[in-house]
Structure formats: C-alpha cells, structure tokens
Structure 1
Amino acid sequence: MIKTLIIDDEPLAAGIVQEFLAGYPQFQLLEVCYDGFQGLKAIQKHEPDLIFLDVQMPKITGFEMLELLDEPPAVVFTTAFDEYALKAFDANAIDYLLKPFSQTRFNQALDKFLQQHGASNREPSAEMHDLAEKSNRLVVRVKNEIKVIPVSDVIFFEAQDDYILIHTASGKFLKKMRMKSLEEALDSGHFVRVHRSYILNLNEITQIEPYERDNYLVHLKNGEKVPVSKTGYSRLRQVLGL
C-alpha cells in the first residue's frame, strides 16, 4: 500500500481529493489535515509516501512546512494560485494541480507518481530542504516547537556547514538551508551577502572599518563585528550608494 496524506485548510477541496483518490485502492489515506502544523505531526507519525499539499494555509504555508522536514515525502501540490508553480517544480514536486481540477487531471498526477515510484527509489531533492518562500518570515524548529521569525528581526545570518545560524535580538536559531538559497530568497535592498559565510541586515550596520588587506569589518548595533570580503565590500558599497 502507498501511504498518503491530504493537507489542505479547505474541507471541500480536501474532500474532492479524497473522493478522487478513492478510485485508487493501492493508495491508503491515513489522515486529512487542515493546517501545516497538523500536517507536520501527521508526516512525522505516519511517514507517508505521498502527500497532497495546499500552499496557502493558516499558521505556516505548505512550503514552510516542507522546510521543517529532514526527508520530505513526494508531493503533489493542490492550490488555487498559479504563481507558485515554478517554485513547486524547482523542488521536484510530482505535479501541481490548480484548483478547481478535474478527475482526469488528478489521474494524470497520480500516474506521474506511480511511474516515478515504480521506476526509482531516489531520495527527495535537496532543494526541497532549502526551499525558502520569498516572504517576511522564516520558520525553524526549536526542540519540539515551531518558531516563526520575522525577517526584520534578523541581525545577520551565519553559515555553519549545512545550516544557517540566524542571529536575532532574542537569540540564535539553526535552520537547515544553503547560503545561496537564502541569499536568493531575501530582499537584496535590505540584506547583503558580505562574505561567503555572512549575510547582513543593512539596518543593523553602524560602522565599516578596514581590516587587513582588501578586507573590512562591519560593526553592528548589537556590538558584534562581522568580516567583509573584497567582493562583499563592493556589494555593500553599491547597495549603500558609497
């Protein structure tokens, strides 16, 4: 049996997926969830092979929920918004169903999954882990809780192996994500990558001083100092209009 979950905050839409799925006896529907937190718990509990996932949901979005999973299952996105399609396929989603969709279109999505499921046992794409929706917040796991961090609260980001250390006034938080993906997701008018290991919030800078050859130090409002490479300094000057 193929273990399956439906995660959608619209009961009618979830019901339609459930009705369409009933024609496939090889799929075992384990649970229907109506928000991202409930979906996250269900995935951890059941370890499904496939989930049908809405994007825009209360509390956390579908993309933010996936960021919190170390090994996300295969995903078929179900949403009323077509602007997320490119992001979904960049994350190697099985398919992207635009509401309202027909039984025929639903069947095509399941056929794609069955073809891939039978053809290979490849691991989920690393891009799914790194996916950062362009928004004003980040979600991180703190022990057994989920914390939502407004991007405006971030002082700077620091690369640590496969993780990003998020520095805020209220503490430091680890998020599994690549620096490049984070850089692309942030507003370049407010955040600048000044070093291969650092991205700064421009509003937190108080001073820039020379440090060794072709390198600089940035002083931040919280008293910390962050190194700036030659390339990073050029970016910084351009953004600050220096």
Structure 2
Amino acid sequence: MNYINIPVYSYESETQKLWLVTKNELKLLIKIDGKTICLASDEIEYIESIAGKVQIVGKETYKSNLTLRELESKLPYFYRCHRSYLVNLARIKALVTYGKNSYGVVLKNRTEIPVSRTKVRELKELLKGTI
C-alpha cells in the first residue's frame, strides 16, 4: 500500500470543492498530461480495461498507464470480478444473476459490472453480510 505522509487535498471539479484527505486513506496517484492527480480509494467506483487501455471511473473518468494487475496490487479493497474489471467492494449494492452462468454486480450508482462465473463463489464470500 502506498500512503502519503504530507497533507493531500482532493478536488471535485463539479462542485469546485477542495478538502483534506486523511492520512489513513489509501491514495492512488495518476499522472495525466504532466499533472499528478491524487485519488482516494473511496473516490473510485471501478476500474475497467478496454482494448488494453485502463480507465479509472469515479465522479470523473481518468486514463491510466498502469495495468489492471498493477492497480489490483495497489488497491486491496478492490476485487477482480472479471478479466476487464476491478470493482470497489464498498460500492457494491447487489449481486445479480442474469441467467444460467451469467452474473453481475450493481454498484450504488446503478452501474452494472459483469462477474466471471469462476469468481461468483469467492465474491459471495467476500460480500457475506454486507449486501
């Protein structure tokens, strides 16, 4: 885990609010166009890989040069539910079955993310008692 020991502020462009991020929160630093953006793990809904390009999705979507595997090792509260997705476990609202061997999770923001059938049992155990 990467913790930053200096005061770090998070900025929400929609509301133009700036706030101090606590030292105990996990941070993810992303470089975009020569700028470094700091995201707390609770600001991220999910991470998706599309055609080899990784997108970090929260209130805004950011492109990352890191791979899903690298992000998975940096974000312990995220689960690799599918080969193309890492999902924030704290954002999962429901685990749904679409049909025989077809599963997904619904996030609190109503986004639906697919779940590989090989991951369903493990995900149910992780979520036991939380949803």
Q: With structure 2 as the length reference, what TM-score do the two structures score? A: 0.71
What is the aligned counterpart of 1:234 among 121, 124, 127? Answer: 121
Tell me the equivalent position of 1:163.
Answer: 53
Q: CA deviation at 1:181?
A: 2.0
Cα distance between partner residues in 2 of 1:58 and 1:207: 36
Identical counterparts, % of pairs:
25
Change in Cα spacing, 1:151 to 1:217, as seen in structure 2 (3 Å) is same
Instruction: From the superposition, tell whether residues 161 and 139 of structure 1 become closer, same or farther in structure 2 (CA, over 3 Å).
Output: farther
Contact 1:192 1:235 in 2 (8 A): no
Higher percent of residues as strand: 2
Amino acid corresponding to residue 70 of structure 2 in structure 1: S
Shift of 1:57: 8.0
Residue identity opposite 2:122 in structure 1 = R
1:179 aligns with 2:56: no
Q: Secondary structure at the match of 2:99?
A: coil
1:196 matches 2:83: yes
Match of 1:149 among 39, 54, 64: 39
Structure 1: distance between partners of 2:50 and 2:26: 22
Query: Take 1:218 and 1:143, find their aligned partners in 2: how far apart are those partners?
Result: 33
Please tell me the residue identity of whatever aligns with 2:121. S
How far residue 137 of structure 1 moved from its aligned partner, in angstroms, is 1.0
Structure with a larger share of its residues in helix = 1
Q: Which residue of structure 2 lines up, in the alignment, with residue 30 of structure 1? A: none
In 1: Cα distance, 2:46 partner to 2:120 partner: 16
- Kindly report the root-mean-square deviation, in angstroms, between the aligned alpha carbons of the 2 structures: 2.4
Runs of 4+ deviating beyond 4 Å? 56-60
Q: Report deviation, 1:145.
A: 2.1
Aligned length: 110
How far the C-alpha of 1:215 sits from its partner, in A, is: 2.0
Q: Flag the structure with more relative contact order, 1 or 2, with Cα contacts below 8 A and sequence separation at least 6.
A: 2
Q: Does 1:220 align with 2:119?
A: no
- The runs of 5 or more residues in structure 1 that have no matched partner are 1-55, 61-134
Instruction: Report the CA distance between 1:184 and its aligned residue.
Output: 2.1
CA distance in 2: counterparts of 1:163 and 1:176, whole angstroms: 8
Shift of 1:58: 5.2
2:20 paired residue number:
none
